[in-house]
Structure formats: C-alpha cells, structure tokens
Amino acid sequence: MRVSSPKKRAISAGLLAIVGIWALGLTGYYAAKHARVTPEKLQAFVSRTDLRRLSGAERAAALRQAAEMLNRLSLEDRREMRMGRAVGEWFNAMTEAEKGEFIEATLPTGFKQMITAFEELPEDKRRRAVDQALKRLREQMPPPGPGGTDATNLAPLSPELEAKVRTIGLKAFYSQSSAQTKAELAPLLEELQRNMESGRLLRGR
C-alpha cells in the first residue's frame, strides 16, 4: 500500500524534528563543555588581563568575571588558584575596596554562618579543628621552585596570624581584619567549612 503524500510529509517532518532535537542537544552539550571553567582558563584570563591598564566599567567587569570563574571551580582548584602567583599578582593590583569585595564574592556561600557555628564549639574542638585544617592545607601546598606557588600572603597562615586566630577567635579576628588578611584566611575558612558541612567537627559535641 502506498503511503499518501500528506502522510509522507508528516513522517518526514517528524524525522526532521527528531534530528533537530538531537542536533540542538549536541550543540548544547559541546557549548556547555566549552564554557566549563578550568584552572587553566582562569589562569589564562588573569594572565592576559592587566588590571593596571583597566579602569571604570572595564575594570569592574574584569574583576566580576574573575570572581565568577573562581566560584565555578572545585574547592581544591579554587584553593590552588588562590595560592597561585598569577592570581596573587592580580590581587595585589586591586585597591583595598576591590580586595574586600573580591574576597566577599569568592568565599563559600554560608561562610559567615559557619564562623558563628564554629565559635559555639567547645574550645578544645575549635583548637583541634584549626590544627587539622592547617595540617591539610600544608599537605596540599605545591613545592616551591620554578613554576611553583608563591604562598607568601596565602595559606597556611603565618605564625603571627595563626596565633591571633587562636587567641582572639576566628569570628572576631575576621571581622577586624584587612582585605589582605582575609585573603590569607580564605583557604582556612573553606577547609573549616568543608569539615563543618561534613559533620566531622560536630560529632561527639
């Protein structure tokens, strides 16, 4: 039995629609894959964007894009980029106001609530939590040398700041700190938050 012309057209239209849906799906997949942020892409962006040559809207847009890219990385990649030389040079080129805004924009969601909850823990548990977090950060730091990390202003904390965190308290010290000090505290805050969210610090409370 021969298929009528209208029926052929309907079948052809249906096939074309299916092919079109598949094509759109594949296009979306490859576009998303291409748009995925990686440490290499962020490194390339900050390396080719000289903040000292930018001002006004262009400078604000570059800072916003860098913050958005940093936030889309995994915790480990974000920490590595924070300690990297290129991002460190970018940070040093910011004004104090820009540094503060950048830190606030790139810290994990809910970190202020984390600090409040952390300060409510018993003293021995807070001390142990800081010890464990700093130990993990030291283990993850890349070795110095060619192509290594300039961690002068970043994690782990300098002995002076570590002492202040322990004696003054994390919440009080963070609220009083400069943007540069908050940058040094950022990896510690992220590590503590991860431990809090996993429940490791709350067990046995």
Give tens-digit pLDDT for 109-144.
787 788 888 888 888 888 888 888 888 888 876 655
* Of the candidate ranges 18-22, 120-124, 174-178, the one whose mean pLDDT is the lowest: 18-22
Computed on alpha carbons and rounded to an integer, the radius of gyration of the chain in Å comes to 24
| pLDDT confidence bin for 76, thresholds 50/70/90 | confident
Contacts of 182 (CB under 8 A, 6+ apart): 99, 100, 103, 174
What is residue 65's predicted lDDT score, i.e. its pLDDT?
93
Give tens-digit pLDDT for 138-172.
887 665 544 444 444 444 678 888 888 888 888 88
For 138-165, the DSSP string reads: HHHSPPSSTT----TTSSSPPHHHHHHH
CB 188 within 8 A of CB 157: yes
Domain boundaries, the chain: 39-198
